[in-house]
Amino acid sequence: MDNVLVKDGVDAETVEAVKVLSGTYKYGWDTDIEMEYAPKGLSEDIVRLISSKNDEPEWMLDWRLAAYRRWLNLKVPEWAMVDYPKIDFQDQYYYARPKSMEKKPESLDDVDPKLLETYKKLGIPLKEQALLAGVEAPEGERKVAVDAVFDSVSVGTTFQKELMEAGVIFCSISEAIKDHPELIRKYLGTVVPVSDNYYATLNSAVFSDGSFVYIPPGVRCPMELSTYFRINAENTGQFERTLIIADKDSYVSYLEGCTAPKRDVAQLHAAVVELVLLDDAEIKYSTVQNWFPGDENGKGGIYNFVTKRADCRGKRSKVMWTQVETGSAVTWKYPSCILRGSESQGEFYSIAIANNMQQADTGTKMIHLGKNTKSRIVSKGISAGKAQNTYRGLVSMHPKAKHSRNYTQCDSLLIGDKCGAHTVPYIEVKNNSSRVEHEATTSKVDDDQLFYCRSRGMGEEDAVALVVNGFCKEVLQALPMEFAMEAQQLVAISLEGSVG
């Protein structure tokens, strides 16, 4: 077959067009492409197979096997406020790769046209000099380099050469394992250890691909970096691993996007993201998480169990996590900051929207180890339909983290009366010179506000979107411009059907 099969409309750029074309989830179509799967289920053989598909050195395989053996003895964590059927880890595929990717293409021009077409339809052009779709170049040209991950493999990374000239390494992690083993061996698993938690251990055993970034000392990455994760295959889990190293006095802004087709059966996504920051380094990491959320009755959707952590090893290093979580049936995710270097800073800005039957348990951990460290948390949870949205946050001031500060603001907004919002803060302060401030509010979308908007001519759903976007303002402002518009539209789309 020459054409990519598209089930629903995809080219819509405006909220209106999306409504007309494809119901609520814009990315629910799939790509009809010949795939190659590892046998179903999980075993040592599968771990070996994944490692050999990636042509890995022995030490990497040993690392994976150790993780796998550890995982066998672990229990599924149950403390999160999410409720879903038990996952049968033997009833899914751990590796799925388009046949055409058997030999890694030499350049983007050699990538299977069906794959290129898929990303084009997602608005992620894999052509260099192109911008993300729907983005107006603010002034002059702003480039975004993209690593495109399709099921278990990276199909291509753009602008590698231009980045290389600046000394920046941006490639798939499978390539990095082969081409930059010294960096991988030095940093992989040092932020999120293999033993960290059930899903991180699983990921360590079976991760198939993901992105790798290294910014050398003193370099400000000349463009935005971005990875776009697409799950396409049925009954297949996606386990990707991202490692970003910002060396001394470097800067990078990194964006992560993700979507999946509409399917009746839930699919597992368990990623690990590790950020390493040396002295004076700064990383901005933004996510627009738009996995398929399941239908309005809770059928299908992605189970998103992700471990993301930044280690501010260096003095005065600074990390900023921004996330817009609109998708997934179940979200379990706590991007965290270890503030080890003195005067290091961690920020977390989050919008989590849960509609229909979605469940989100998300938040952050700020671990203050060094002195004069600062952290700031701004979390906006929006619940509609029958959804449950939990903010879970840990702020920990260790004895040596003298004169450290945290500010947490955690606001929940309810739309309708069948949904729930929960705030679970954990605060530990083990020195007496540090200060922790926590503010939390819960409000409802006010009928008077909606009527006010409507009496000025706005439709009901536009009015809700406007009020909710206002509620999320502080977080939207923290997003890179490229994503802010998209995120605003996403907010509107994910709340469709939440009123009336």
Partner 1 sequence: MLEISNLHVQLEEEDKKILKGVNLFLEAGKVHAIMGPNGSGKSTLSYVLSGKDGYQVTDGSAHLEGKDLLDMKPEERAAAGLFLAFQYPVEIPGVGNMTFLRTAVNSQRKLRGESEMTAGEFLKEIRAKAKDLKIDAEMLKRPVNVGFSGGEKKRNEILQMAMLEPKMCILDETDSGLDVDAMKLVAQGVNALRDEKRTFLVITHYQRLLDHIKPDLVHIMANGSIIKTGGPELALEVENNGYAELLGERA
Binding site for partner 1 (CB under 8 A): 446-449, 451-460, 462, 466-467, 469-474
Residue 322 C-beta: closest distance to partner 1, Å: 16
The residue type found at 32 is D
- CA-to-CA dists, residue 420 to 290, 384, 442, angstroms: 21, 8, 10
Q: Are strands 169-172 and 211-215 parallel, antiparallel or unpaired?
A: antiparallel
Rank residues 268 and 468 by Cβ distance to partner 1 and give the closer one. 468
Residue 443 C-beta: closest distance to partner 1, Å: 9
Structure tokens at 373: 């460290």
In whole angstroms, give the CA distance from residue 117 to residue 98: 14
Give the residue from 422, 355, 354, 435 showing the smallest Cα distance to 390: 422
Q: How many CA atoms lie within 13 A of 92 on its CB side?
A: 17
Rank residues 234 and 460 by Cβ distance to partner 1 and give the closer one. 460
Structure tokens at 331: 């979200």
Residue 385 CB partners (closer than 8 Å, separation 6+) = 296, 354, 355, 356, 357, 358, 416, 418, 419, 497, 498
Q: Are strands 169-172 and 153-157 parallel, antiparallel or unpaired?
A: unpaired
Residue with tokens 């920051």: 277
Rank residues 329 and 472 by Cβ distance to partner 1 and give the closer one. 472
Rank residues 469 and 489 by Cβ distance to partner 1 and give the closer one. 469
Rank residues 272 and 467 by Cβ distance to partner 1 and give the closer one. 467
Residue 457 C-beta: closest distance to partner 1, Å: 4
Residue 470 C-beta: closest distance to partner 1, Å: 3
Residue 140 C-beta: closest distance to partner 1, Å: 20
Residue 351 C-beta: closest distance to partner 1, Å: 12
CA angle 484, 253, 128 (to 5 degrees): 85
| Sign, CA torsion 446/450/451/452 | positive
Structure tokens at 161: 């050469």
Residue with tokens 């293409």: 105
Residue 487 C-beta: closest distance to partner 1, Å: 14
CA angle 69, 392, 330 (to 5 degrees): 60
β-strand partners of 346: 319, 375
Rank residues 252 and 465 by Cβ distance to partner 1 and give the closer one. 465
Rank residues 122 and 463 by Cβ distance to partner 1 and give the closer one. 463
Residue 8 C-beta: closest distance to partner 1, Å: 24
